């Protein structure tokens, strides 16, 4: 049966807020969790991923989990270790202990951020390209994907790891023209990841059907994902403002963009 009750971790964040609005239309009942309280959501669980007892209780009885919580930019290894590496492990342990069947894991393009972006007639980046994290942050996403593979092989806990590009209401850079995932397509992809049968551990790229796509969406489409959006209408204005990407600039040459050289730092 299709999952109905879904735990959404990181529900107070940017993506969590967008998905809280869009996913109920697909019939899900969301249980929300975040480190921070969420205005207008008194039932949301306020807990740290470090709190194993709180996680056990939070996952109890849900059909699936969408795991967005964690540090979403670059930070010290110690911070990343606590929130993203140990935190994701704690969540998987809780899910396994409570018999939750599936997790959709918010991985990132930064797990493979040092992969050169395609230029000219180069092929799209395949989903089985080797991990090439561009930051400690990206390294934690590579770890999360391996953790997901391990819990599938060892315990039969399924995961779809979504290497999200840039999911924001609009693309705001020339790089994002290639990586943008509209919020509506984000909800479509999460819905596909929750409902496709027999996913084992599947890795997919998360973006809209952008004209300037850099990566191969076929494993996402195989889940039933049919993206409806394309960043191209934003291209003319962004390129006029920012110029075309310069292949000689290291911050433009790889999938991870400026994360490879000058990553944005987590402010907390």
Catalytically active residues, by annotation: 137
Distance between CA atoms of 119 and 99, rounded to whole angstroms? 45
Helices (H), 44-162: 52-59, 77-80, 87-98, 136-155
Residue 72 in the binding site for ligand 15L (CB under 6 A): yes
Q: Which of residues 18-57 bind ligand NAI (CB under 6 A)?
A: 34-36, 48-49
Close Cβ partners of 234 (under 8 Å, ≥ 6 residues apart): 170, 171, 177, 180
Please state the closest distance from residue 1 (CB atom) to ligand 15L, in A.
32
Verify binding: residue 142, ligand NAI, rule CB under 6 A.
Answer: no
User: Which CB, 66 or 179, lies closer to ligand 15L?
Assistant: 179
Report the nearest approach of ligand 15L to the CB of residue 229 (Å). 16
Report the alpha-carbon distance of residue 147 to residue 86 in Å, rounded: 11
Q: Minimum Å distance from CB 3 to ligand NAI?
A: 19
Residue 166 engages ligand 15L in binding (rule: CB under 6 A): yes
Residue 254 within binding range of ligand 15L, rule CB under 6 A: no
Helix (H, G, I), strand (E, B) or coil at 116: strand
Bridge pairing between strands 64-67 and 45-46:
unpaired
Residue 12 near ligand NAI by CB under 6 A: yes
CB of 48 to ligand NAI, least distance (A): 4
- Three-state SS at 262: coil
Tell me if 83 contacts ligand NAI by CB under 6 A: yes
Q: Which stretch binds ligand 15L (CB under 6 A): 46-54, 95-103, 106-114, 221-229?
A: 106-114
Calpha distance 222→234 (Å, rounded): 28
Residue 49, binding choice from ligand NAI, ligand 15L, none, Cβ under 5 to 8 Å by partner class: ligand NAI
**Cα separation, 219 vs 209, whole angstroms:** 13
Computed on alpha carbons and rounded to an integer, the radius of gyration of the chain in Å comes to 18
Instruction: Report the candidate in 43, 31, 42, 24 with the shortest Cα–Cα distance to residue 7.
Output: 31
Residue 108 interacts with ligand 15L (CB under 6 A): yes or no: yes
227 touches, from ligand NAI, ligand 15L, none (C-beta below 5 to 8 Å by class): none
Among ligand 15L, ligand NAI, none, partner that 70 touches (CB below 5 to 8 angstroms by kind): ligand NAI
The DSSP symbol for 133 reads -
Rounded to whole angstroms, the Cα distance separating 119 from 60 reads 47
- Interface residues with ligand NAI (CB under 6 A) are 10, 12-16, 34-36, 48-49, 68-72, 83, 87, 106, 108, 164, 166-167
- Interface residues with ligand 15L (CB under 6 A) are 72, 108-110, 166, 179
């Amino acid at each position: 049966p299709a999952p109905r009750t879904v735990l959404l971790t990181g529900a107070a964040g940017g993506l969590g807020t967008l998905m809280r609005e869009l996913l109920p239309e697909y019939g899900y009942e969301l249980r929300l969790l975040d480190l921070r309280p969420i205005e207008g959501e008194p039932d949301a669980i306020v807990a740290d991923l470090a709190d194993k007892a709180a996680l056990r209780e939070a996952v109890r009885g849900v059909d699936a989990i969408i795991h967005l919580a964690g540090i979403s930019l670059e930070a010290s290894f110690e911070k990343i270790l606590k929130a993203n590496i140990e935190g994701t492990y704690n969540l998987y342990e809780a899910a396994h202990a409570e018999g939750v069947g599936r997790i959709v894991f918010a991985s990132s393009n930064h797990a493979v951020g040092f992969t050169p972006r395609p230029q000219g007639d180069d092929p799209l980046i395949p989903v089985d390209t080797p991990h090439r994290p561009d930051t400690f942050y990206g390294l934690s996403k590579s770890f999360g994907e391996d953790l997901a593979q391990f819990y599938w092989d060892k315990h039969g806990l399924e995961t779809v790891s979504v290497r999200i590009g840039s999911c924001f209401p609009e693309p705001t850079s020339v790089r994002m023209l290639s990586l943008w995932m509209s919020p509506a397509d984000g909800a479509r992809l999460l819905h596909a990841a929750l409902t496709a049968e027999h996913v084992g551990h599947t890795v997919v790229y998360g973006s809209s059907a952008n004209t300037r796509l850099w990566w191969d969406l076929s494993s996402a489409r195989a889940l039933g994902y049919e993206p409806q959006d394309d960043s191209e209408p934003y291209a003319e204005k962004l390129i006029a403002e920012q110029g075309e990407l310069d292949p000689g600039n290291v911050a433009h040459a790889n999938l991870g963009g400026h994360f490879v050289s000058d990553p944005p730092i987590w402010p907390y």
